[in-house]
Amino acid sequence: MTIRLSPYLQQRVLAAASRLEINFDPRVGLARVQRYGWQWKRDWPYAFLVIVAMFSLCVMPQHILFKVFLVGIYTAALLVPFTSQFVLPATPIFGWLILFFSSQFIPTKYRPHIWVSVLPTLESVLYGANISDILTRYTSPFLDVLAWIPYGVVHFAGPFFVAAFLFVFSPPGALKFWGSAFGYLNLVGVMIQIIFPCAPPWYEIREGLIPANYGMHGSPGGLARIDAIFGGNGYNNTFTNAPVPFGAFPSLHAGCSTMEALFLSHFFPKGRVFYWSYVFWLYWSTMVSRLHLYQTSLYLTHHYLIDLVAGGSLACAYFYYYLARMPDELRHPTALVNGKFLNATPLDEEVGMASTMLNGNGYGGWDSIDEEEEEMLDRFGASANPSTSSSTSSPNVNRTPGGVITPGGRSPNLTSNTGRKPSIVPNSRV
């Protein structure tokens, strides 16, 4: 059976793919790095990520050659223009992943005390014992599967879906902000879990309120019922050997789903009801029945309600932090004419290393500032669209002393309306 995409979807996919930079010469990337104007105020997050990576590599017990291999692969991906447009915006995500994995190797003598009673006490004081119980009073195989779908399936596929959706349908630049917001949300969340380890509900069910220690293994909680339903042992093995077994607070399941809903609601507001229904579906699946804690009436038992509130709040904080730093074209995307943006002028915003409009990420990759590249791109643009060659410029940005952004490093036309902010330009073929 042949699967055919609709003409509109084909157009969007081809438009997104056409914005990618197909260049595999690492010398080009090296030249861009050498010419990049480093500024501490703008680029300090990259220094922070380097510190996180160095710490993670130091505590990992793997052989030094394996660590060198990881660094070499990442460096090579940064220097190759084609891969750098994806790897550079995803660097915060890589920082989160390597810290999450390596945290299990931190020596016990340097780890903080594990808090067992703080979360249940806070939930009882702030929200009362009935909230979680109302949502999770009964269990059944049907409800088990219903809770498993968002927690054990959609949670892991959701970030990739959102990234693909933003890449194809949103204005150029949205994907870079998604990578930063999502990556730093999880990175900071894991850091909090390491500094402030708290026992999840399954620990209270299994051990009571006795002090916990780092020699204890994790638990799949209610996901063990999913293993029983499908006749597997995947969740039991995964959660038993989890790198951060006492990472209940904050809930990154709640944080990730909230971040996904915020981004999708911002760029595609017509589906808000669907996005937020999924968020509350996942919230329900993570909670525990407090009144029947030692009976069978509980759900996945991985988080208390206070964990969900903390995770959602952290997601909101990072979303609005980056929203305030988005250019107008991304801050008000629904103002675009039918969302058509096959071509784009440079955005009037300093965004650090990833500021070129050359590729599908909008901001992904290093600045393209080589004069030969500019001439090549100008010739390519003129041949591809002769009718607009006189007004279309290279995707490189140069700031003049007067603060005017000019494409391609050329002097601005003082007779033109240079005070008007660059905006997304619909392509005439759409």
For 406, the 3-state DSSP assignment is strand
Residues 353-397: pLDDT tens digits?
A: 333 333 334 445 555 544 455 554 454 444 444 444 444 333 444
What tokens were used for 298?
């509980």
Q: Are 89 and 359 in contact (CB under 8 A)?
A: no
| pLDDT for position 98 | 95
Of residues 237 and 334, more confidently modeled = 237
Please, what is the average pLDDT of the chain? 74
| pLDDT for position 250 | 92
**Tokens 């480093």, residue?**
38
Residue 107 pLDDT > 70: yes
Lowest mean pLDDT among 173-177, 367-371, 421-425: 421-425
Give the mean model confidence (pLDDT) for residues 100-105.
Answer: 92
Of residues 72 and 287, more confidently modeled = 72
Residue 3 pLDDT > 50: yes
Residues whose CB is less than 8 angstroms from the CB of residue 243 and which lie 6 or more positions away in sequence, other chains included: 100, 101, 102, 103, 104
Of residues 204 and 59, more confidently modeled = 59
**Which range has highest mean pLDDT (8-22, 90-104, 344-358)?**
90-104
* Cis previous bond, 250, omega within 30: yes
CA angle 349, 320, 396 (to 5 degrees): 15
What tokens were used for 357?
């409009």
Residue 423 pLDDT > 60: no
Of residues 302 and 208, more confidently modeled = 208
Lowest mean pLDDT among 49-53, 215-219, 284-288, 391-395: 391-395
CA atoms within 13 A on the CB side of 401: 0
Q: Are 358 and 365 in contact (CB under 8 A)?
A: yes
pLDDT band of 97, cuts 50, 70, 90: very high
Q: How far is CA 102 from CA 44, 54, 99, 227, 245, in A?
A: 23, 11, 5, 27, 13
Of residues 300 and 121, more confidently modeled = 121
Closest CA to 360 of 175, 91, 160: 175
Residue 396 CA to residue 412 CA, distance in Å, equals 13
CA angle 264, 91, 28 (to 5 degrees): 110
Give the mean model confidence (pLDDT) for residues 335-352.
Answer: 40
| pLDDT for position 397 | 42
For 19: left if phi > 0, alpha if psi spans -120 to 50, otherwise beta; the answer is alpha
Residue 276 CA to residue 81 CA, distance in Å, equals 37
pLDDT band of 129, cuts 50, 70, 90: low
Give the mean model confidence (pLDDT) for residues 27-55.
Answer: 89
| pLDDT for position 355 | 35
**Straight-line distance from the first to the last Cα atom of the chain, in angstroms, rounded to the nearest whole number:** 29
Give the mean model confidence (pLDDT) for residues 337-360.
Answer: 38
R_g (Cα) of the chain, nearest Å: 24
Domain boundaries, the chain: 111-336
Percent of the chain clearing pLDDT 90 (strictly above): 30
Cβ atoms within 10 Å, residue 323: 15
Could you say which DSSP state residue 1 is in? -
Q: Are 333 and 174 in contact (CB under 8 A)?
A: yes
Lowest mean pLDDT among 287-291, 348-352, 361-365: 348-352
| pLDDT for position 276 | 94
Full-model pTM? 0.74
Residue 166 pLDDT > 60: yes
Give the mean model confidence (pLDDT) for residues 59-81.
Answer: 94
Residue 136 CA to residue 281 CA, distance in Å, equals 12
Lowest mean pLDDT among 81-90, 127-136, 170-179, 316-325: 127-136
